Structure 1
Amino acid sequence: MSMDAGGDVEGHVKEMEEKSGWSKPRQGRVKVNVDAAVLEGIRVGWGSVGRDEQGKVLWYAVTQQRSEMSVGMAEAVGIWHGLEEAIKEGHQEIDMESDCAVVVGDLQRRAKGRSELHLVYDDIYLLCNSFQNVCFKFTRRKNNKVAHK
């Protein structure tokens, strides 16, 4: 669920950004940072945050469910959730950042296959049609602290 970010959140996000290496997106773009957490055999959770070129939080979302899935699958589903939120918010130009290099690399080269993971990739590719431009980028975990928290 998207939420309007209030002052408390803004201050906390700003503090975490200053301690990390997060960088602002180019003008006219929205940067969406996503992260997943897996508690093996019990629960999976996803966080995403969208920010403008000034670093202002436009929205954030947290989702969790009881499920068993690999970390790679959870990261891919997290990207899917982040894209869904960006669509709801009406963004057209986004930079999607994740700290999962394998998934980001697969999405950058539009990997195809028959695995469950590739089915999620196919859903992501379909969602990308809702935007004018989507750029998938890897970021180090320290730069992804807001989505991680």
Structure 2
Amino acid sequence: MRDMTVVGQHARILSYINWKPPKENFVKLNTDGACKEGRRAGYGGVIRGNQGEWLGGFFKGVGYCNAFVAELWGVLEGLSLVRRLGFDRVELSVDSKAVVQVISTEKTQGAEGFAIVNKIHRLLKMDWNVIIVHEYREANKCADALTNIGCNLEREVIYYEDCPEEIRNILVADEMGITTPRLIVA
């Protein structure tokens, strides 16, 4: 008979997660990346103002790569778009802790995504104020929905000046502050 010891159990608390508007005088850029069956990947993102209003969005299919690299592509595209639109105070919200760590610390582990990370760092060093934050997937639903559309595309990027009909309900729910429950490690 073996002595069974449980290792690695953590207490979890129930939290209610929702999209949060950016700080005053900032815009919020939510980005996401994913890979689906067969490693077909895409990314997406949305730019919103203080009231949750749509300022721009995008998605793209990137072919075959892992989710980490797709997430990096989403950050790069999103920052490039925000810059082109002339916003100089940006709250970048990403639901991947690994991506937030890599772009915040300028330390990459291995060659995976190295060139993309370098491009992101060059953008971040420009004359503007970018705050990088991690938020849970439940606070990033619009970007997630756009990413899922991107996963089904060939290598083309599509920009939206107005919110696409496919995600309008998600945008309205975010604006209303509707929450989603999540168990979080305490």
TM-score, normalised via structure 1 length: 0.79
2:103 to 104, 107, 117: 107
Alignment length (residue pairs)? 130
Give distance in 1, aligned partners of 2:126 and 2:83.
7
Identify unmatched segments of 5+ residues in structure 2: 1-15, 146-186
Shift of 1:40: 4.5
RMSD over aligned Cα, in angstroms?
1.8
Return the letter of the residue paired with 1:53: N
Counterpart position of 1:139: 135
Given the alignment of the two structures, is residue 23 of structure 1 paired with residue 31 of structure 2, yes or no?
Answer: no
The correspondence of residues 1-149 of structure 1 with structure 2, limited to 5 A, is 21-41=18-38, 43-65=40-62, 67-112=63-108, 115-149=111-145
| Greater share of helix | 1
Structure 2 CA distance for partners of 1:123 and 1:141, relative to 1, 3 Å:
same
SS at match of 2:23: coil
Give distance in 1, aligned partners of 2:127 and 2:52.
21
Return the letter of the residue paired with 1:138: H
What are the superposed Cα offsets for residues 74-128 of structure 1, whole Å, 9 maximum, x if unpaired? 1111111111111121111101111111110121112146613222111101112
Give distance in 2, aligned partners of 1:100 and 1:91.
23
Give distance in 1, aligned partners of 2:48 and 2:127.
16
Return the letter of the residue paired with 2:131: C
Return the letter of the residue paired with 1:115: A
What are the superposed Cα offsets for residues 38-94 of structure 1, whole Å, 9 maximum, x if unpaired? 1244522111100111211111111113x2211111111111111111112111110
Shift of 1:37: 2.1
Give distance in 2, aligned partners of 1:72 and 1:108.
15
TM-score, normalised via structure 2 length: 0.64
Give distance in 2, aligned partners of 1:42 and 1:109.
28
